[in-house]
Structure 1
């Protein structure tokens, strides 16, 4: 068995009951860079509502998502498993494109899903925002979001079920017009709202869902997954700009503003404040020259740090350890699959019987009661449609990557182009130490190859040749 996989087969976690079951809200932003938030050193707008969340919670600076692109990143957070297991290795597109890239058409409903286990344990479960794990373009026979354990959902044009769809206007064209209007055939009823206020629409629905769960005295689990700050960029007209970075900053500022009522709804209710955990992060790095992961190398689609390292904030005044509010954990290496696994523990619900989760239980660290990260390495595979060159050094986008302790290692599937960086001293990934550390490089090479051989192949990355 692969040494890097954390197994949890048939384990049953004692279920918490009644007031002991905490509420959970997972905010998963779309295409936001590691350093876009002002509390993570961003030089754009002051993201005051998210910054306040950080000042009252814990920031984690060594948190990773499990893919540098949206659909597989979402699968990892949803299942607690590497998305390659489910053959979702890049963004889900139209049927022909998915097939050409060797991908599934949607996430198999038989996959282990945290929301389903929480639902079975008595939680009210809601998904509000982008889904993108099945049901988009001409893929109109994907399972509805309800089949994955959600009582209620409202999504955008990339999911099955009730829709919140955008109207757009610009300074030159102030009459609102519809975009992605054909998405209504993927479920309804549709609600149309200005693209600059779409996050507000998802937030309003989430707050109504929380109100009803509280009225029914049920713990709740809420996904709030905005399609901000993904392109196309349509900020409010009073924040319009004549360049993409300026437009992006306008959308980021508006998103932060529109998230405020959700955070305040929970913060200002004593019962919710003491029993709710908010987890805030991004699904992958930013589009190149739009968002920012400076000074990290790379961006969306790339396995370098800027493509897979995400800001992470965990908030919960009644659940976090005393004295940790406003602190930063810059030591623990964590990933999205660990968030999934840890929420089972925090909520006291059973793990899916007979399933193998790749995430590790780091719940004590997320709650500020410990500082250690995951023990096993994290492994990534390049999305099959993302070959190319790094924007700064013109090196190939590597096929595989491994983070193990202080080391980040890259290699192609044919065994070429070894890169090794010590991220404790070189988090910008500027000095390749592979030749000077042959034992470390060989070990991580072998680990990456073993992992890749154990995962279903896609069209972009072949198995290693025999003998590797």
Structure 2
């Protein structure tokens, strides 16, 4: 029996399991924030220890060509939460800054016409929780409590202090614990630990119910706040920024370990599908490392959009299995719903159910093309080929199979490929809605500058957030 037959047999077991058990699988989607691609042991890192995340990946399906829908936090999360390219509903930019013509500040958030993964699991009879960074807009209509989550322990803004604020803090930076209530700031200990506690406590209260958790850690997004003991653990790292980042990664890894252990302690580990992903590449400001990949957060280079990504479900999905075709965080919603045998009720999805492709990787890739756009910069991947198109810059073409670091632009050697891929990109763009807000000239200028071929070193990349 070859490995494809083994995988198929395991997935047949998933279906048999669902038929034989009244309790459907729990689902936990864990999302990290601004983590460097190479800052895990499983992705080649050696300086920072991540034993719990490494084990999570080793126990499941490791997607080696995985992507987010945007290289910055807010639109990337909008794509994941809806299973749809966020540009379809005008959610193209990161910072809620400047409403475009025809829109107001009240329109700057996740469109109320879109249904979230939380809504989908509520429809399926699951109890749902949103923990951590929300970043989907301010005001009640964008509140996670009204967007598919029965319980929340969430932060409206894109970041906050990991420590309690000493004075008055903006409401958007506070931790929301219901539609109307905020956590008293003096109850904050260390943010990463508090988010873990909230998820573990929810698991304990709902261990007899099918549950869905969206656990969106802020770490290791700035501000760079690490526990002193964890910084001391990494005192061999001379760069202070990198040392604090490593300390934040230590708390993150231990938190994920605690979540998994809570499932084991309650004999829920065989009944729980865990998805792990990062929201974009390592940031220019936090000491992260994207390893072999060019570019960082904010770019269409691989370092901006390529992420660690795995799905782990012991006994039901194959452990130690690598899936090499390109996939997207768009696929999280349809795949997890399929595992729960739930029906999606919403607008057409761009993501696909990955379970049949895992069962038979020889059946072809889940996507014939993946697309990205934020303002002046856009990209498309088709098979091994990737095109980057930026206003004011030459079109760039790379073969990722032979050049994963995107160091050799071959556009002039393959004009027919450039034409084809630009046409596919234009066809996709013709389906999109106009952006509801923009960010300003600084961010457009940085998009142009960071995608020039001469910007190659990490030091140069960090100049253009």
Per the normalisation by structure 2, the TM-score is 0.80
Residue 177 of structure 1 corresponds to: 166
Deviation at 1:89, TM superposition (A): 1.6
Residue 431 of structure 1 corresponds to: 408
Deviation at 1:31, TM superposition (A): 0.6
Q: Is the partner of 1:190 in helix, strand or coil?
A: coil
User: Cα–Cα, structure 1 residues 45 and 412, in superposed 2: closer, same or farther, change >3 Å?
Assistant: closer
Q: Is the partner of 2:316 in helix, strand or coil?
A: coil
1:285 to 275, 281, 287: 281
Q: How does 1:247-262 map to 2 (within 5 A)?
A: 247-262=244-259
In the alignment, structure 1 residue 229 sits paired with structure 2 residue 220: yes
1:202 to 195, 206, 209: 195
Any conservation in 1 of the 2:203–2:262 contact (CA below 8 Å)?
no
Deviation at 1:338, TM superposition (A): 1.4
Residue 326 of structure 1 corresponds to: 320
Residue 89 of structure 1 corresponds to: 92
User: Cα–Cα, structure 1 residues 406 and 180, in superposed 2: closer, same or farther, change >3 Å?
Assistant: farther
Deviation at 1:98, TM superposition (A): 4.8
Any conservation in 1 of the 2:263–2:269 contact (CA below 8 Å)?
yes
Could you report, residue by residue, the CA deviation over 1:14-35 in whole angstroms, capped at 9, with x for unpaired residues?
xx67636211100000111211
User: Cα–Cα, structure 1 residues 142 and 260, in superposed 2: closer, same or farther, change >3 Å?
Assistant: same
Q: How does 1:34-433 map to 2 (within 5 A)?
A: 34-93=37-96, 96-99=97-100, 104-135=107-138, 140-158=139-157, 166-167=162-163, 177=166, 180-183=169-172, 184=174, 187-192=180-185, 197-214=190-207, 217-240=208-231, 243-270=240-267, 272-288=268-284, 290-320=287-317, 324-329=318-323, 331-353=324-346, 355-365=347-357, 370=361, 372-382=364-374, 384=375, 399-412=377-390, 417-433=394-410
CA distance in 2 between counterparts of 1:109 and 1:148 reads 8
Q: Is the partner of 1:78 in helix, strand or coil?
A: helix
CA distance in 1 between counterparts of 2:395 and 2:250 reads 40
Deviation at 1:49, TM superposition (A): 1.0
Q: Which moved more, 1:373-382 or 1:96-105?
A: 96-105
1:25 to 23, 28, 49: 28
Q: Which moved more, 1:240-249 or 1:69-78?
A: 240-249
Could you report, residue by residue, the CA deviation over 1:165-216 in whole angstroms, capped at 9, with x for unpaired residues?
7426xxxxxxx735844435975222436987212211211122122222xx
Q: Is the partner of 1:454 in helix, strand or coil?
A: coil
Larger helix proportion of the pair: 2
Q: Is the partner of 1:277 in helix, strand or coil?
A: strand
Q: Is the partner of 1:207 in helix, strand or coil?
A: helix
Deviation at 1:267, TM superposition (A): 3.0
What is the root-mean-square deviation in Å for CA atoms of aligned residues? Answer: 2.8
Any conservation in 2 of the 1:38–1:51 contact (CA below 8 Å)?
yes
CA distance in 2 between counterparts of 1:37 and 1:400 reads 28
CA distance in 2 between counterparts of 1:255 and 1:75 reads 23
User: Cα–Cα, structure 1 residues 151 and 165, in superposed 2: closer, same or farther, change >3 Å?
Assistant: farther
CA distance in 2 between counterparts of 1:307 and 1:179 reads 35
Aligned length: 406
User: Cα–Cα, structure 1 residues 218 and 451, in superposed 2: closer, same or farther, change >3 Å?
Assistant: same
Any conservation in 2 of the 1:123–1:218 contact (CA below 8 Å)?
yes
CA distance in 2 between counterparts of 1:141 and 1:72 reads 19
CA distance in 2 between counterparts of 1:188 and 1:99 reads 32
CA distance in 2 between counterparts of 1:210 and 1:276 reads 11
CA distance in 2 between counterparts of 1:118 and 1:420 reads 40
Any conservation in 2 of the 1:200–1:259 contact (CA below 8 Å)?
no
Deviation at 1:43, TM superposition (A): 3.0
Per the normalisation by structure 1, the TM-score is 0.80
Could you report, residue by residue, the CA deviation over 1:367-394 in whole angstroms, capped at 9, with x for unpaired residues?
x664654233010003x4xxxxxxxxxx
Q: Is the partner of 2:335 in helix, strand or coil?
A: helix
Any conservation in 2 of the 1:298–1:305 contact (CA below 8 Å)?
yes
User: Cα–Cα, structure 1 residues 52 and 101, in superposed 2: closer, same or farther, change >3 Å?
Assistant: farther
Could you report, residue by residue, the CA deviation over 1:250-276 in whole angstroms, capped at 9, with x for unpaired residues?
111121112221011113433x12111
Stretches of structure 1 lacking an aligned partner (at least 5 in a row): 1-15, 169-175, 385-397, 462-468
CA distance in 2 between counterparts of 1:22 and 1:231 reads 34
Any conservation in 2 of the 1:109–1:147 contact (CA below 8 Å)?
no
